[in-house]
Structure 1
Amino acid sequence: MAEKVTFEQDMKNLEEIVKRLEQGDIPLEEAIEKFKQGMDLSKKLQNTLLQAEETLTKVIDDNGDEQLFEKENED
């Protein structure tokens, strides 16, 4: 069974991909592959953050019912 990769590990992997692409000294085919990997990681990380936000906006009251916090406008 494959070990689950943590959010932090995914962030580190994305940072390494970005560094490698910024160096600009890799073949085009490898750069395209790294870019695709980076985009996939970015989407995965964004989804994880959205799920965490949804979880944090819920609280269970004394009766066991979920209560949702309304998001404040950040204007």
Structure 2
Amino acid sequence: MTDVTRDVSAMSFEEAMKEFEQVVNQLDRGDVPLDQSIALYERGAALKERCATLLKTAEERVEKITLAADGTPAGTVPTEGL
């Protein structure tokens, strides 16, 4: 069952994705009352946004990797939040 009390903004990508999948599965079953379905949908939207934000941050970090003359990674620029 989904823990709707847990702060989405504190979740890792893996945690948010796992809970998002649980929300989708609950909604797909169709045996959830309307009010709970709406709450689950809202939770799912927040989880989706969290995953998208973390993916964007990771993508930006990868783009900041500098390459040495021989094409190997020479270092990274640290990015807070991941």
Please, what TM-score do these two structures have when normalized by structure 1? 0.72
Which portions of structure 1, spanning 4 or more consecutive aligned residues, are displaced by more than 3 angstroms? none
- The 1-side partners of 2:14 and 2:65 are apart by 25
Q: Report the residue type matching 1:20 in the other structure.
A: Q
Which residue, out of 36, 43, 48, partners 2:42?
36
- The 2-side partners of 1:35 and 1:60 are apart by 40
- The 1-side partners of 2:38 and 2:18 are apart by 19
Q: Report the alpha carbon displacement of residue 7 of structure 1 after superposing the two structures with TM.
A: 1.3
Alpha carbons of 1:24 and 1:60: their partners in 2 closer, same or farther (altered >3 Å)?
same
Q: Is 1:24 matched up with 2:24?
A: no
Unaligned runs of 5+ residues in structure 2 are 1-6, 69-74, 78-82
- The 2-side partners of 1:10 and 1:26 are apart by 21
Provide the secondary structure at the position in 2 that maps to 1:26. Answer: coil
Q: Report the alpha carbon displacement of residue 8 of structure 1 after superposing the two structures with TM.
A: 0.7
Q: Report the alpha carbon displacement of residue 9 of structure 1 after superposing the two structures with TM.
A: 1.1
Q: Is 1:54 matched up with 2:71?
A: no
Select the structure with the greater relative contact order (CA < 8 A; seq sep ≥ 6): 2
- State the identity as a percent: 32
Equivalent residues, number: 62
Aligned CA-pair RMSD: 2.2
Q: Report the alpha carbon displacement of residue 6 of structure 1 after superposing the two structures with TM.
A: 2.0
